[in-house]
Chains A and B, each alone.
Chain A
């Protein structure tokens, strides 16, 4: 029954193509400046891992890996990245003295240790799962194990999932201390404070463009800072209205020239 550890040429080719990619993607996790890129690298690694699972005669786990991990879990990550946004902590500059050097040394030590140990192991032959997968079927075999020998672990993991779901809801829940203000309340507050009675000026609206990041122009041609969100101002994502004003001026000038002509 025992066959050598060797695997076929097709799988070998697959491994040598995908393995370096997965390592590079993993390193991308280490070096990416933006968390979105890190998340995308992670998805690549997971997809490749799923492929490797399938190649390793574990089709069910491979599919689950792709669907659940790359699909669900990483989407969750992306959601959180979206909520948190860019953060100063994305920076790769190390703040703890000696942390980077020590990490590199320890990691290299770990790699060396694991490699050496794995290299020293006397491997028997590989049995392979082809027989099992064809006789009982991969999914059926797994089901026998999960609902048979490992049923208690299965039940406990179900409990764990439920607990985790409740815990995450508790953690994410935020109790409002007061009802959210509606338009009426906003108006009342404006009048009470006596400021911006007519509301804040709307952002710039131009003949061919309407954007919240572009400030409106006051009658004298200067910019109204009140017309753009403070968040955008803080992120220096306020666009300049100059080009729209210039374009308008240009059009008006051409019209004037045309009428004179």
Chain B
């Protein structure tokens, strides 16, 4: 088996994550979709690191994790705030942008 399969897997997981973001209405699950996409990207980074024999890819994956966790913290806080004021975690309800 080739290492490239990891890349294929990463692409598939990334696409599923994207579909989750687009299809689910619950903000929490949408967020999980985002996390899934980030993880898929991380998988690709790790694989590339192995291919090139350098650790930089792994470092980048670590930084992605850091950024992702920061994003999760803020994002979940926002979801909580929205839920508190609207009694709903549906991102379709947060449509004040609507013209």
Chain A in direct contact with chain B (Cβ < 8 angstroms)? yes
Contacts of B59 in A (CB 8 A): 142, 145-146, 150
A123 & B51 in contact (Cβ 8 Å cutoff): yes
Q: CA–CA, A39 to B35, complex, Å?
A: 11
Q: How far is the CB of B4 from chain A (nearest CB, A)?
A: 6
The number of residues on chain A lying at the interface, defined by a beta carbon within 8 Å of a beta carbon of chain B, is 89
**Contact bitstring A83-127, B, C-beta under 8 A = 1, else 0:** 110011111001110011001101100110011001000011011
> Cβ of B98 < 8 Å from any Cβ of A?
no
Q: How far is the CB of A104 from chain B (nearest CB, A)?
A: 7
B residues neighboring A (CB under 8 Å)? 1-9, 11-20, 22-29, 31-33, 35-36, 39, 42-43, 46-47, 49-56, 58-59, 61-63, 65-74, 76-81, 83-84, 88-93
Task: Using A7-B3, A87-B26, A118-B11 as known contacts, say yes or no to A172 and B77 having CB atoms under 8 A apart.
Answer: yes
Q: How far is the CB of A40 from chain B (nearest CB, A)?
A: 10
Closest A residue to B76 using CB positions: A80
* Option from A26, A157, A164 in Cβ contact (under 8 Å) with B13: A26
Task: Using A39-B32, A61-B62 as known contacts, say yes or no to A29 and B16 having CB atoms under 8 A apart.
Answer: yes
Closest B residue to A110 using CB positions: B15
A172 & B31 in contact (Cβ 8 Å cutoff): no
B92 & A29 in contact (Cβ 8 Å cutoff): no
**Contact bitstring A128-149, B, C-beta under 8 A = 1, else 0:** 1101100000100110011000
A23 & B24 in contact (Cβ 8 Å cutoff): no
Contacts of A197 in B (CB 8 A): none
Contacts of B5 in A (CB 8 A): 15, 19
17 contacts between A and B (CB under 8 A): A1-B53, A26-B12, A26-B13, A26-B36, A45-B39, A52-B43, A53-B61, A64-B62, A68-B69, A77-B32, A90-B29, A95-B92, A110-B14, A161-B69, A167-B74, A168-B73, A168-B77
* Option from B55, B63, B66, B88 in Cβ contact (under 8 Å) with A132: B55
**Contact bitstring A55-77, B, C-beta under 8 A = 1, else 0:** 01110110011001100110011
5 more CB-based (< 8 A) A-B contacts, given A23-B13, A61-B42:
A12-B1, A15-B6, A19-B9, A49-B39, A73-B69
Contacts of A64 in B (CB 8 A): 62, 65
B22 & A103 in contact (Cβ 8 Å cutoff): yes
* Option from B3, B32, B61, B69 in Cβ contact (under 8 Å) with A61: B61
A89 & B92 in contact (Cβ 8 Å cutoff): yes
Q: CA–CA, A174 to B81, complex, Å?
A: 9
* Option from A30, A60, A89 in Cβ contact (under 8 Å) with B20: A30
